Amino acid sequence: MAAPLSFPWETPPDEGEAVEVAPGVLWIRMPLPMKLDHVNVFAFDDPEGWTIVDTGFDSKRSRAIWESILSGPLGGKPVARVIVTHHHPDHVGLAGYFQRHHGAELVTTRTAWLMARMLRLDEQERPVDETLAFWRSAGMDQALYEKRKEERPFNFADIVSELPLGFTRIKEGDTITFGGRTWDVWIGNGHAPEHATFWSRDDALVHGGDQLLATISPNLGVYATEPEADPVGEWLESCERLKQYARPEQLVLPGHKLPYTGLPTRMRQLIENHHSALRRLATFIEEPRTAVECFPAIFKRKIGDAEYGLALVEALAHLNHLYQIGQATRERGADDAWIWQRKG
């Protein structure tokens, strides 16, 4: 039997505090104004200053917390470098702030930087035509559709600081040194394109970002920017590839929730969770369904308003995967929604 998951710390650090999880490695939490109410940030002590991996949202509250942390747990040493695992705003939100105001170097993958900078510059007051068509294709509830099409949508510009020109690229197979360790860079996909993970050569530490979470599964979503994408297929490929590096004793530093050991077990769970969802979904669409009608089969619980958007993009991701591997068909309904059905 493989080693089960184990959680060395039962409680996370309080706001503005830091917990040492390995020599020279501090665990910090930044608040998020949503159901998943935090993001983990890890600070690594280097001779020239701290290396920060991920940052939290850009907000007055977050900036104030960071200034307190810098003068408190980080002992007044400068932030020399910010590493961003992927482009989502809870991870990249303050990267530009640290570049502009602290002179930090930004290190990330090319796709993460391009996505973050593009979305930071793409500010919208109302949903664009392509987004509205995308919602219709998913079978969004009509009342919710009418409401959301008149609202200002989520914008990166609201919670991500301006990203200055210039970054240092990391890619699959690179090595990088920070926190007194040399790390192999292995790239995941599915949750976010070109998501960086870091595997220490010097001790049993892994920084997994959102690619290697312990007790929740990261969202795999299809969006109007790439409506034919197959993030589920990319996710499964990434997990199969990354599991070769997993060892039971490694301490995984995740983007959310608690650090843990037992990574080989977790890799199997992450793979099987989506295979199980795909099997349930394939059975459910023996009768024709829209993406929204597939929520119960995929999530096995009621989806509230706060979760609706993430559920919609994840339902489409699983349907796209079945379609692209030849296990489902689709055709346009009278109301412009895709109608999905199991093939054969």
**Helix H or strand E encompassing 142:** helix 142-148
Dihedral sign for Cα 17, 20, 26, 27, please.
negative
pLDDT of residue 304: 87
pLDDT of residue 305: 84
The C-alpha atoms of residue 308 and residue 321 are separated, in whole angstroms, by 20
| Cα distances (Å, whole numbers) of residue 222 to 17, 183, 312 | 36, 31, 9
pLDDT digits (tens, 9 = 90+) for 118-140: 999 999 999 999 999 999 999 99
pLDDT of residue 38: 97
Please, what are the averages of pLDDT over each run of 10 residues along the chain (344 residues)? 90 97 98 94 97 98 97 96 98 98 97 97 96 97 94 96 97 98 98 98 98 96 96 98 98 98 97 96 97 94 89 97 98 95 92
* CB distance 186 to 171 below 8 Å: no
Closest of 112, 144, 113, 114 to residue 127, by C-alpha: 144
The backbone torsions φ and ψ at residue 83, rounded to the nearest 5 degrees and listed phi first, read -105, 130
pLDDT of residue 344: 78
Dihedral sign for Cα 298, 302, 303, 306, please.
negative
pLDDT of residue 153: 94
pLDDT of residue 1: 58
pLDDT of residue 306: 83
Mean pLDDT (the chain) is 96
The C-alpha atoms of residue 146 and residue 114 are separated, in whole angstroms, by 32
Domains of the chain, each with CATH number or no CATH: 19-124+152-279 (3.60.15.10)
Report helix, strand or coil for 285. coil
